[in-house]
Amino acid sequence: MSTNLEVGIVGLPNVGKSTLFNAITKAGAEAANYPFCTIEPNVGVVDVPDKRLSVLGEMVKAKKIVPAAMRFVDIAGLVKGASKGEGLGNKFLAHIREVDAVAQVVRCFEDGNITHVEGSIDPLRDIEIINTELCLADMESVEKRQERLVKLLKTGDKKVPIEKAVLDKVLAGLSEAVPARRLGLTEDELEFLKELHLLTMKPVLYVANVSEEEVADASANPHVQAVIKYAAGEGAEVITVSAKMESEIAELPDEEAQEFLAMAGLEEAGLDRLIKAGFKLLGLMTYITAGEIEVRAWTIVRGTKAPQAAGKIHTDFERGFIRAEIVSYNDLVECGSKAAARDKGLVRLEGKEYVMQDGDVVEFRFNV
């Protein structure tokens, strides 16, 4: 599958960002108790957890199971003044510009042995510091565009004054350190901003890093509650994890990891929730092909039609697309086999306009 969509993991120094990244990828990115131990971004490709694949694998006696994958990028910790080049500011901004979505790690645990760059634990202040730097960088982009618009006003193009009004609105928000995604912009207004690739328009997921003791029930943690309330203001999701615990789980064999989770009172690892949430944040979903050779999850963007989904397997499939034979995962499992699902009329033939659904089990018919 194509793994060109990336989630950047960001946060202030020493909030548990690299520890979390290590656990995600088992890639061994250096994690140390001092700022800027991450300079060049580490990239990790991870499998997207999906229990449906093993169920189908058993059903069709597949030789191999191939899950979907995702890319996570560990980006250097940011400090105040990054937009003016402080710390590793310019590199941070360049790296964050390249990712499609952001997972912002905020520290919600107390630990005297791990220093905080701001001297105290306050996740909302940490979020504000990052937002301010990204807003300052975006202000520069918007102001440059405004300068060009002044010259275009003389052309009489009716779109120019409308765009100027949108930019004025965005600039007013950014100057108050309000990210563009929190300004409630309409679809038409967003259209004018597309070319600017604003940092504060990127979708965000907040990762509240708590202590091992609190991870099973973080509802009593006031820092976590403050982050949840803040995230609700932009319709963002909050995932609660203990980066320390996740790094310990990552070292264990699968069976022991499950036992560890059960003892901690958790149904699934925080990392699995983070990976799934990141996948959702990028607007991705999967359809499945299932045969004796392999059961495989194919990643597509929500809203993809059948021929383009077929093109993920091979360009010939898209070029010569005839139809897609589809059964939903739930129907297939309930019936126990494709033949039984067909007998019940649950296997459908869909044409070129069919919009793929998550969990569709598909066989494409094509002719080249």
Binding-site residue ranges? 14-19
Type of residue numbered 329: Y
Residue 294, Cβ density class (10 Å: 0-12 exposed, 13-18 middle, ≥19 buried): middle
3-class SS at 191? helix
Residue 26 phi, psi (nearest 5): 50, 35
Binding site for ATP, by residue number, is 14-19
Rounded Cα–Cα distance for residues 24 and 272 (Å): 9
- Rg, the chain, Cα only: 23
With tokens 């259209």, the residue in question is 191
Rounded Cα–Cα distance for residues 283 and 302 (Å): 6
| Pair of tokens at residue 224 | 């976590």
| Pair of tokens at residue 247 | 């790094």
Rounded Cα–Cα distance for residues 219 and 46 (Å): 29
| Pair of tokens at residue 25 | 């990828």
Task: Work out the angle at residue 90's Cα, subtended by the Cα atoms of residues 88 and 93, and round it to the nearest 5 degrees.
Answer: 105
Rounded Cα–Cα distance for residues 15 and 123 (Å): 10
Q: Write down how long the chain is.
A: 368
- Which positions ≥6 away from 303 have C-beta within 8 Å? 355
- CA 350 to chain CA centroid, Å, is 30
